[in-house]
Homo-oligomer: A and B are copies of this chain.
Amino acid sequence: MISVTILGAGNVGTHLFKAFKKSNQVSVKQWFNRNLDAISTYSNEVDIMDDLTSLVEADIYIITVSDEAVAKISSELPFENRLVVHTAGSVNIHDLDKKNKRGVFYPLQSISKNAVLDFAKVPIGIETIDKKDYHILKELALAIGSPVKKINGDQRKVLHLAAVFVNNFTNQMYRIAHEITESQAAEFDLLKPLILETANKVQDMSPYMAQTGPAKRGNLKTIKKHLALLEKEQHKDIYKLITKSIQDTHGTSTPLSNRK
């Protein structure tokens, strides 16, 4: 049995709490949050608190507060030589106060507060300063059914950046598609199977191999039709820039890319 204490009650903290509660290999000792109201509904299930000095001993302390607050809360912990980890993609492991053993337990997913989260689909990237601490963190991830990968800080930072491309930026592509279909009274819903297929395709094939379309084919006639259809200047700029990026990737440059 691994005992853990969670600090913070944002999306990551809340989903981890629920996953730990479900596992019979993990016991949640305490749940700390500056604002007790946010976790008061869980007071029957766990010892909740807003006072760091009352923290009891646990195998792992998991800091899930916002990126900016990680360093400060780690320095305020009233104990030493225990294992303290954070869960942030872009925070350095050395931002944790060195009075404790340090690690990172990074769930690589988009985590919304109210959505149901299946941790089998959440790879956990683990980093530790001391090799000896890796094993218990790996056990903790496996206890909630997550795939585990040892990653160093540089890898984690680049994964966090890459996640912005495949998640936030991809979602903005969906958003723009939503805007332009609605402007012509066309149904965004018709694109949903294509959205899924596009994501499915790269599960077994590289994005390079999966690419199709006018930019890859260098079909200037279609590209021009599309640019003429777009009403917003910003959408035109995005169309041109990503078309150029696809052409550069696939060596299918057309006169369009020389004009800019």
Contacts and interface: CB of A to CB of B under 8 A. Distances in A.
Interface in A172-193: 172-178, 180-181, 183-188, 190-193
Interface stretch (A33-41, A49-57, A238-246): A238-246
A166 to B, nearest CB: 5
Interface residues of A, number: 89
Given A168-B212, A185-B155, A238-B245, A193 B162 contact: no
B195 A174 contact: no
Interface string A229-255: 110001001110110111011000000
Interface in A123-177: 123, 125, 149, 151, 154-177
A199 B199 contact: yes
A194 B167 contact: yes
Given A171-B207, A195-B202, A207-B171, A177 B165 contact: yes
B241 A186 contact: no
8 contacts: A110-B194, A112-B201, A159-B190, A162-B177, A164-B213, A170-B170, A170-B199, A171-B210
- Most-contacted residue by chain B among A123, A149, A167, A226 (CB, 10 A): A167
A166 B184 contact: no
Contacts of A198: 110, 166-167, 170-171, 199
A237 B230 contact: no
A166 B180 contact: no
- Most-contacted residue by chain B among A115, A186, A237 (CB, 10 A): A186
B212 A242 contact: no
Nearest to A222: B90
B197 A109 contact: yes
B249 A175 contact: yes
A159 to B, nearest CB: 5
Number of copies: 2
B90 A191 contact: no
A134 to B, nearest CB: 17
Given A149-B190, A173-B169, A208-B175, A230 B161 contact: yes
Contacts of A221: 67-68
Contacts of A185: 155
Nearest to A68: B221
A215 interface: yes
A151 B188 CA distance: 12
A225 interface: yes
